[in-house]
Each structure stands twice: as structure tokens, then as C-alpha cells.
């Protein structure tokens, strides 16, 4: 079993490395699938905040995938018009047991034809843009599962998405092993009041 994690220029770092950490930990501590970072071409990819990462495989070399995760970032604004990338996501994604998006990766899934008619979410700053697509039911939760299509809110939300996905595939005990190994018992501290007072703050983050 293999999970492909797509990257592209201006991909947001934590969007894919949060899930990467959880998925590779699953592989290490609880027998989860092998994980590969996949890019259109070989060679370094510069992320949105300037980190430089070398993919393991290009589209051409990429083996069969059982799962495909599509992260977000500023680069998605370009990639939703990259027919080579969309073709890869459409062809590979439609054969996968599940596809997952983080943040604005939802727009790549949509442009590849995998999100129409689904419930989904994205980064709070792009919820209205996701609604405007017209054929997605936008849910303001930390992450959303609609059958075999999973999507999360912005950036760090990919970690929560991935743990829930692991629990769904392998059970709560496996997810618990991953959570413990990566010591993911995050603080609930909220700094400032943006989560509650910003007009675009997502429903799930607002104070009760």
C-alpha cells in the first residue's frame, strides 16, 4: 500500500508535512502504508515560505497509489490551471481508495473533477471562494469526510484530518499509537481574538 503526497511550487509547508509526519509515523509504529512525496518533475520544489524539498518521485515515475493527499498554499492558484497536474490528480485520484485535501488543496481536487457534489472544507480565507464554485457543500468544520473524499481547514488542520483518516482506515488504537509517538496533545491556548471576532473566522473555531 502506498500513499502519495503531492507537492508543487508554492505549496504551504505544514499543509503537507503535518500529514507526512502522521502518515510516516503510522508506517513506522503501526504498519501503515509507505509514503511518497510526488511532484510533476524531478528536482527541488520551493514551498510557499521558502523551504526547498526534493520529491521522491515525479508523475512519470510514480507507482500505483492507494491514497492521494493534495495540500494547499498559494501555488494552488496556478496549479488549478496546470492540465498536466490536474490530469495526474484526476487519473490517479479516481483509482485511489480515498483522496484527501488540506487547506486550498480542495480547489485542486475540484479542478480535477473530484469534489463536485461533495461536502468539503478549506482554509477560512477561501471558504467563500469554495462556496462560489456552486457544486460543493461547504462545511465549516476542522475537517470533513464525504465517503472517500476527505478535506480539511487550513494549514495545521491537515494533522487532525490525517489522524481521523488513520483511525477510519486502521482503527482508534493505530491512530492512538501515531498520536502518542508524535506527542500530538496540542495546547488549547488561543492567542488574541481573531478566531472569534474576524468576519471570516470558521464556525468550528469560534468560542461557544
Catalytic residues: 103
| CA–CA distance, 157 with 151 (Å, rounded to integer) | 9
| CA–CA distance, 103 with 123 (Å, rounded to integer) | 5
Instruction: Give 4: exposed, middle or buried? Use CB within 10 Å, 0-12, 13-18, 19+.
Output: buried
Our CB check for a copy of itself shows the closer of 66 and 204 to be 204
- Cα 136 to chain centroid, rounded: 17
Residues at the site binding a copy of itself, with contacts judged by CB under 8 A: 12-14, 17-18, 20-21, 24-25, 27-28, 35, 37, 44, 49-54, 56, 103, 123-124, 142, 153-157, 159-160, 163-164, 167, 172-173, 175-195, 198, 201-202, 204-205
What's the closest the beta carbon of residue 114 comes to a copy of itself, in angstroms?
A: 22
Instruction: Give 197: exposed, middle or buried? Use CB within 10 Å, 0-12, 13-18, 19+.
Output: exposed
What's the closest the beta carbon of residue 6 comes to a copy of itself, in angstroms?
A: 14
Our CB check for a copy of itself shows the closer of 95 and 194 to be 194
Our CB check for a copy of itself shows the closer of 49 and 77 to be 49
Amino acid at each position: 500500500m502506498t500513499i502519495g503526497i503531492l507537492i508543487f511550487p508554492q505549496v504551504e509547508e505544514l499543509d503537507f508535512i503535518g500529514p507526512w509526519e502522521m502518515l510516516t509515523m503510522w508506517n513506522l509504529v503501526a504498519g501503515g502504508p509507505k509514503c511518497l512525496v510526488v511532484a510533476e518533475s524531478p528536482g527541488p520544489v520551493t514551498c510557499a515560505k521558502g523551504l526547498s524539498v526534493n520529491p521522491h518521485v515525479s508523475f512519470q515515475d510514480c507507482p500505483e497509489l492507494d491514497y492521494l493527499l493534495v495540500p494547499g498554499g498559494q501555488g494552488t492558484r496556478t496549479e488549478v490551471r496546470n492540465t498536466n497536474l490536474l490530469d495526474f490528480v484526476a487519473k490517479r485520484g479516481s483509482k485511489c481508495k480515498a483522496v484527501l485535501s488540506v487547506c486550498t488543496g480542495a480547489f485542486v481536487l475540484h479542478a480535477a473533477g473530484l469534489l463536485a457534489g461533495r461536502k468539503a472544507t478549506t482554509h477560512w480565507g477561501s471558504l467563500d471562494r469554495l462556496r462560489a464554485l456552486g457544486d460543493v457543500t461547504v462545511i465549516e468544520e476542522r475537517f470533513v469526510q464525504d465517503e472517500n473524499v476527505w478535506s480539511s481547514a487550513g494549514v495545521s488542520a491537515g494533522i487532525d484530518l490525517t489522524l481521523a483518516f488513520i483511525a477510519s482506515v486502521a482503527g482508534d488504537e493505530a491512530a492512538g499509537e501515531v498520536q502518542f509517538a508524535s506527542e500530538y496533545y496540542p495546547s488549547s491556548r488561543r492567542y488574541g481574538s481573531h478566531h472569534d471576532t474576524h468576519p471570516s473566522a470558521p464556525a468550528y473555531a469560534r468560542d461557544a
